[in-house]
Structure 1
Amino acid sequence: MATQREESGIVTLTEQGVKQVQDSPLWNDDLRPTTRAEHNWSGLSFATLWVGMCICIPTYTLAAGLIGLGMSVWQSIFTIFLGNLIIMVPILLNAHAGTKFGIPYPVFARLWFGSKGAHFPAMARAFVGAGWFGINAWIGGAALDTLLVTFYPAWANVSMHTGIIFLLFWLLTMIIAYRGPQAVKKLGAFSAPTLAILAIGLFIWAVVKADGFGPMLATPSKFETTGEFLNVFWPALTGVIAFWATLALNIPDFCRYAVSQKSQATAQVLTMPITMAIFSFIGVAVTSATVVIYGEAIWDPVQLLAKFPPYVILIGAVGIVLASITVNVSANLVAPARAIENLWPRRITFGIGAVITGLIGIAMQPWFILENFGNYIFGWLGTYGALLGPIDGIAVADYWMVRKRRLDLVELYRSNGKYSYASGFNMKSIYALALGIAASLLGLIVPGLSILWENAWTVGLFVSMFAYWWLMRTDASLLSQTEYEQITEISQLAKRENDSNVAL
């Protein structure tokens, strides 16, 4: 009897499939596969999601910070656009799995690491997300603190005033996040157009104050030779790629609600790279303008905000707060909360996971990460890119190269199923992960191989991808087309598509 049903490219559990695993310790209402009715996110939902996430302060500081490192405007834009095109590839590849099978990232990870081993990639993503949560909460709190000091100067004399506002902002974000990932769609629909208008307003101000495009875009590169430029370009490119390496892993958390593959893929391709390029251009252009206007590059928007009249500070603070909450709820809390929930599905809810994520974000000291741009791109982005790159490679290899998009949903929720491997751990994925990380670390150890570390995400991705494919190519957990059809009730349209894929 079929345990799953495929229709229009989307696979759901049948009633028989649900009965077999609904009492499993690996099952709860948040981690189960989505039903057909829950696939209700249109392309517009994904477009507003990405606009809301891209128009955020970390995007601005990433782009503006490249100017501070010595790049020209056009060198900065090129680096950012190239990095976003690269990371879009694994985003789309992993999004396909979430859309087709309706599973969240922690469950997806069971395929590669096993029912227990999946906690490692899930928690690795969780800690990075928690760090980003802390960064955005600190930025939002700092904006509110600036607003208070402007309208109530005595507030600056209160001991630890910035820390107090940070905690209040943290609490506000937690209240919104506690409502769950479906709240993201509503938040994005409101914040996306609002943030776009504020970004355009900031750009117009920069053009006017810098006396036109010429001066603001004329800031030259500080690099005298190609070699000097490449010494900054490679780690900067890794930082740009790593910026969305987290979403490249947990994009199934959102795409599991997609109406269709076409709608989510089209919306993401048209929205993310373009929005990142436009807002990055605004970031670097405004930062270049600050060199003309103030004689120094101000890449921190909160510091820039403090130089405006009070009414502008009020509008800007609202924008920064809205941007910080939007990206925090959508990009930085869903995946960590799901990962923590997956540690004990029968006891930990999404809301509890969100609260734990927020506490970890505080513990990771975001104020230190944002102390200077070197900490931000070379320390924070570069280091976690070396960890997430290999995991991205394993995810892509497993779904596309090893399993060829054929999964048994029921087995994902069995404690001793085929995806449990040896006592819940797939040692082949662990070996592949170790090889990917080791390849990048050679760049820190061996003189002359620094380019390996400077490109840690890319190096780790390809090394782990091909190592995993080689180790898993004949694994007993793989499903043949015949075995897949035995457990899947396939509509005639889906069957024709599958037959076409087999022929290819």
Structure 2
Amino acid sequence: MIAAPTTRGSTEISDPDPRLYNADLAPTSVEDRTWGTYNYIALWFSMSMEVTTYMLAAGLIAGGMNWWQAVLTILLGNLIVLIPMLLNAHAGAKYGIPFPVIVRAPFGPRGANVPALLRAIVACGWFGIQCWIGGGAIAAMVGVLAPSTAGSQPILWACFLGFWLLNMIVVYRGVESIRHLQSFSAPFMAIMSLALLAFLYHRAGGLGPMLAAPSQFHTTRSFLAFFLPALTGMVGYWATLSLNIPDFTRYAKSQDAQIFGQAFGLPVAMTLYASLGIACTSASAVVFGHPIWSPVELLGKFHQPVVAFFALIGLLVATLNVNIGANVVGPSNDFANLAPSRISFRTGGLITGVLGLAIMPWKLMSSSSNFTSWLVGYSGLLGPVAGIMVADYFLLRHRRLSLDDLYRRNGAYEYSSGINPRALIALVAGVALALVGLVVPALHWLYSGAWFVGFFVSAGVYLALMTSVGATSTLQQSLELERP
């Protein structure tokens, strides 16, 4: 299961401000907390077994790594992102509240719109990317049925817009309309990938030749120059969900359920499925003379049209499934947070779709280097938000929040007219330092580690500002209100 269930009931909030409250943002009730360890393992396997995971791993091979360097990079990146994932998940499981509500504590009820929008815009980009991949799969299926259309740009664009429209229909009708497909999509993707691997295994002449391609990096310096942004890209891949993971853990039966489920599910699922992408891309270099990082292009090289057709259908279903679950649930809540009385979950999903087009995913997916640059670039926006959230919840508030005050004005988190300027200063400092390498070549190394730089700089600046003399009295008052 991928999409978070619709809230049936909620924990009662005393006199909430209608500008900050609706049924989708309300705390979950006891009857809604039904997710156990298995559900979180299944969540990660479902979200990991999809096309962009394959392409993420394939991009490492296309960039010059050998197979074991790529596997270790993926494993390390996912172990690193697991840390903020679990830390930010804690408040969701404890209080039953989603990301845009939790982030009101450090940023204020109005200031929270800034990080929520940053996260939402990135998710819109992912939504567009998945639509482009799905459109490509449809175009490839058309090419199998009518070979004369293969490579036709008008056909590709028509398929892309058609798949985008299908996503919009599903959003409008509600995520329940594809729930019956969710239990089949991940296994279907696994079967497709294994079939592709078997095909390439046969064509390459065994596993040895498939993995025999050497690293293209001949010095430690050249390897590190590729490794650091690649590692940042691995972390950035789940940087969005490391923020809005409370949207899912708010349904957890217990902290242990989400902790153990995620600690196993995320690194294992990502490493296993990414390894298939690594093996297939390595083999494609042997079979076709160059690494092919797109599974849609690779499937088009099957000589058995029926096999290729059904594999592309599986890819299409899985892409639709993941797109709705991973790229609609979060931004829909974020947009709803802007005006809860006017923007529903459905409306937020439609906004996501429109912005997904505006971000021009076809440019982001034009090459593996563009894809990696996209991952690294937006990680510099989201790493600072994660740093501030972790510093605020664990180091300043010691895992205590005033639930009622998160849904009202003039409460514990009012700060200055609903905005915490110290959090915004910390956010700007982290983003600026993380992205300065884009315009200052001598500092490009900061950009290569954008998520890490932004996370630690923003966390440090936020703690320093919140514990300064001028902020002590306001912080102390909020902490008094938060005591159980």
TM-score normalised to structure 1 length: 0.89
Q: Please say if 1:336 is aligned against 2:331.
A: yes
Alignment of 1:478-493 (within 5 A): 483-484=481-482, 488=484
Q: Please say if 1:48 is aligned against 2:42.
A: yes
Measured against aligned partners, the alpha-carbon deviations of 1:198-237 in whole angstroms (never above 9, x if no partner) come to 2223222222221111100111011111111111111111
Rate the CA distance shift 1:247–1:182 in 2: closer, same or farther, 3 A. Answer: farther
Tell me what 2:53 maps to: 59
Look up the SS of the partner of 1:371 in the other structure: coil
Aligned length: 471
Tell me what 1:476 maps to: 474
CA distance in 2 between partners of 1:399 and 1:433 (Å): 16
Rate the CA distance shift 1:83–1:205 in 2: closer, same or farther, 3 A. Answer: same
Rate the CA distance shift 1:442–1:144 in 2: closer, same or farther, 3 A. Answer: closer
Letter in 1 for 2:474: A
Q: Please say if 1:377 is aligned against 2:372.
A: yes
Rate the CA distance shift 1:19–1:231 in 2: closer, same or farther, 3 A. Answer: closer
Shift of 1:26: 0.9
Tell me what 2:230 maps to: 236
Tell me what 1:9 maps to: none
Letter in 1 for 2:216: K
Shift of 1:157: 9.2
Shift of 1:477: 4.4
Tell me what 2:306 maps to: 311
Is the contact between residue 75 and residue 267 of structure 2 (CA under 8 Å) also seen in structure 1?
yes
Q: Give the unaligned 5+ runs of structure 2.
A: 1-8
Is the contact between residue 105 and residue 250 of structure 1 (CA under 8 Å) also seen in structure 2?
yes
CA distance in 2 between partners of 1:185 and 1:86 (Å): 31
Tell me what 1:365 maps to: 360
Look up the SS of the partner of 2:329 in the other structure: helix
Rate the CA distance shift 1:411–1:482 in 2: closer, same or farther, 3 A. Answer: closer
CA distance in 1 between partners of 2:439 and 2:351 (Å): 35
Q: Please say if 1:81 is aligned against 2:72.
A: no
Letter in 1 for 2:426: A
Look up the SS of the partner of 1:419 in the other structure: coil
CA distance in 2 between partners of 1:215 and 1:248 (Å): 38
Measured against aligned partners, the alpha-carbon deviations of 1:367-397 in whole angstroms (never above 9, x if no partner) come to 111111121102x111101111111101111
CA distance in 2 between partners of 1:125 and 1:113 (Å): 14
CA distance in 1 between partners of 2:429 and 2:461 (Å): 8
Rate the CA distance shift 1:252–1:478 in 2: closer, same or farther, 3 A. Answer: farther
Shift of 1:173: 2.0
Rate the CA distance shift 1:112–1:181 in 2: closer, same or farther, 3 A. Answer: farther
Shift of 1:195: 2.2
Tell me what 1:247 maps to: 241
Rate the CA distance shift 1:420–1:254 in 2: closer, same or farther, 3 A. Answer: same
Pairing partner for 1:108 from 102, 113, 131: 102
Q: Please say if 1:90 is aligned against 2:87.
A: no
Alignment of 1:415-454 (within 5 A): 415-444=409-438, 446=440, 448-454=442-448
Q: Please say if 1:205 is aligned against 2:199.
A: yes
CA distance in 2 between partners of 1:128 and 1:186 (Å): 28
Tell me what 1:270 maps to: 264
Tell me what 1:8 maps to: none
Rate the CA distance shift 1:375–1:480 in 2: closer, same or farther, 3 A. Answer: closer
CA distance in 2 between partners of 1:258 and 1:177 (Å): 24
Alignment of 1:148-297 (within 5 A): 148-153=142-147, 155=149, 160-178=154-172, 180=174, 187-297=181-291
Letter in 1 for 2:43: L
Measured against aligned partners, the alpha-carbon deviations of 1:394-421 in whole angstroms (never above 9, x if no partner) come to 1111111111111111111113322121
Q: Please say if 1:118 is aligned against 2:112.
A: yes
Is the contact between residue 397 and residue 479 of structure 2 (CA under 8 Å) also seen in structure 1?
no
Is the contact between residue 115 and residue 385 of structure 2 (CA under 8 Å) also seen in structure 1?
yes
- Aligned sequence identity (%): 46
CA distance in 1 between partners of 2:440 and 2:128 (Å): 34
Letter in 2 for 1:414: R
CA distance in 1 between partners of 2:439 and 2:355 (Å): 30
Shifted more, 116-125 versus 181-190: the winner is: 181-190
Shift of 1:47: 1.6
Q: Give the unaligned 5+ runs of structure 1.
A: 1-11, 489-504
Shifted more, 304-313 versus 473-482: the winner is: 473-482
TM-score normalised to structure 2 length: 0.92
Tell me what 2:27 maps to: 33
Tell me what 1:320 maps to: 315
Measured against aligned partners, the alpha-carbon deviations of 1:293-334 in whole angstroms (never above 9, x if no partner) come to 111111111111111121121122122112211221121111
Letter in 2 for 1:84: N
Rate the CA distance shift 1:61–1:313 in 2: closer, same or farther, 3 A. Answer: same
